Amino acid sequence: MLTVRAPATSANLGSGFDVFGVALESPADVIRVERASETRITVTGAGSQYIPEDPDQNTVGAVADALDAPAHIKIDKGVRPSSGLGSSAASAAGAALALNALYARGLSREELVPIAAEGEALVSGEAHADNVAPSLLGGFTIVTDDGVTQVDSEIPVVACLPETSVSTRDARGVVPDSAPLEDVVDTVGNAATLTVGMTRNDPVLVGRGMNDAIVTPQRTALIDGYEQVREAALEAGATGVTVSGAGPGILAVCRERDQRAIAGSMVDAFDGVGIESRAYQTRVGEGARLYRD
């Protein structure tokens, strides 16, 4: 039996649609695997009632297929599905690391990224790797067609998840097909600023680089209370606020000293529009961790 703790992730960070992602210290999924002649999956924990155990419909089933590694796989969900914290990706990344070790496939974490992304293709229609990459590698990741670039970072964040849910597949449906050149120019500048901020562990630069005029405005329309929560977080000291992944979670970047006040202000602002929510006070952290029982 092998166990992996695979962290939640926040993708896009505004200016890096389908490119940027960060691993979070918490929450996380725990995946346990045991060799078997055919794959069987059980799911417990946060939102498990919405997650299919059929291997053809679960992201970890796609990973077991891709690695030709049948197993009994137990998933204990810490990351709630369809909340914008890469829930399906955490399971896929955790399963990829665990099954690679269980069957001694010898693949590196970088080589496991496209395999784990097969799970994302199953649930959202596209094998976007911006959640599985940070869940496997940790820190801040940049995914392009040429591969993944990773840098460690410890930026403090607050991820506030409303009780509502948005499917990534639906939220991908509102992404525009093209954008005006001036918006592209702005976004490139912001993405570059954010990248420098991550390498310097500078929450002010990261926050400044999160603005995006192309994808985020389309998605905020799907999130009740987004503007109120964003305003509240900025007033409490957040250096940047954006949609976490495809939403409805909202991510605030901040200095550590402001984290608690920001978390409270975001929950209160959701409350003000009649929506319950939970705020994780966390930071950018390490990738999936393997334990041999």
Ligand X SMILES: Nc1ncnc2c1ncn2[C@@H]1O[C@H](COP(=O)(O)OP(=O)(O)O)[C@@H](O)[C@H]1O
Q: Binding site for ATP: which residues?
A: 80-90
Size of the site for ligand X (CB under 6 A): 21
Let me know: does 10 contact 89? Beta carbons within 8 Å.
Answer: no
- Whether 34 is catalytic: no
Q: Which residues are annotated as a binding site?
A: 80-90
Subset of residues 132 to 171 that bind ligand LJ64HWYM, contact rule: CB under 6 A: 168, 171
48 binds ligand X per the rule CB under 6 A = no
149 binds ligand X per the rule CB under 6 A = no
What's phi and psi for 92, nearest 5 deg? -65, -45
Binding mask 64-83 for ligand X (x = CB under 6 A): -----------x-----xxx
59 binds ligand X per the rule CB under 6 A = yes
Long-range contacts, 182-190 (Cβ 8 Å, 24+):
183/213, 183/214, 184/214, 186/211, 186/213, 187/15, 187/212, 187/213, 187/214, 190/14, 190/15
Subset of residues 58 to 97 that bind ligand LJ64HWYM, contact rule: CB under 6 A: 84-86
- Whether 120 is catalytic: yes
Query: Site for ligand LJ64HWYM (CB under 6 A): which residue of 11, 31, 160, 206?
Result: 11
Pick the catalytic residue from 9, 39, 120, 239. 120
Pick the catalytic residue from 164, 168, 187, 239. 168
Binding mask 197-236 for ligand X (x = CB under 6 A): ----------------------------------------
Classify 283 as helix, strand or coil. strand
Helix (H) / strand (E) containing 91: helix 87-102
- Measured from each CB, the residue nearest to ligand LJ64HWYM is 245
- Least CB distance to ligand X at residue 105 (A): 20
Dihedral of CA atoms 63, 65, 70, 71 in degrees, nearest 10, equals 20
- Least CB distance to ligand X at residue 84 (A): 6
Binding mask 221-260 for ligand LJ64HWYM (x = CB under 6 A): ------------------------xx--------------
Nearest residue to 130 (alpha-carbon basis) of 9, 14, 15: 9
Q: Which residues on adjacent β-strands are paired with residue 159?
A: 251, 280
Q: Whole-angstrom Cα distance, residue 154 to residue 133?
A: 17
Let me know: does 201 contact 157? Beta carbons within 8 Å.
Answer: no
58 binds ligand X per the rule CB under 6 A = yes
Tally helices (H) and strands (E) across the chain.
10, 11
Nearest residue to 242 (alpha-carbon basis) of 227, 257, 261: 227
- Please report, in angstroms and rounded to a whole number, the separation of the first and last CA atoms in the chain: 6
One-letter identity of residue 139: G
| Region binding ligand LJ64HWYM by CB under 6 A among candidate stretches 11-19, 39-47, 155-163, 230-238 | 11-19
168 binds ligand X per the rule CB under 6 A = yes
List residues with catalytic annotation: 120, 168
Where on the chain is the footprint of ligand LJ64HWYM (CB under 6 A)? 11-12, 17-18, 84-86, 128, 130-131, 168, 171-172, 245-246
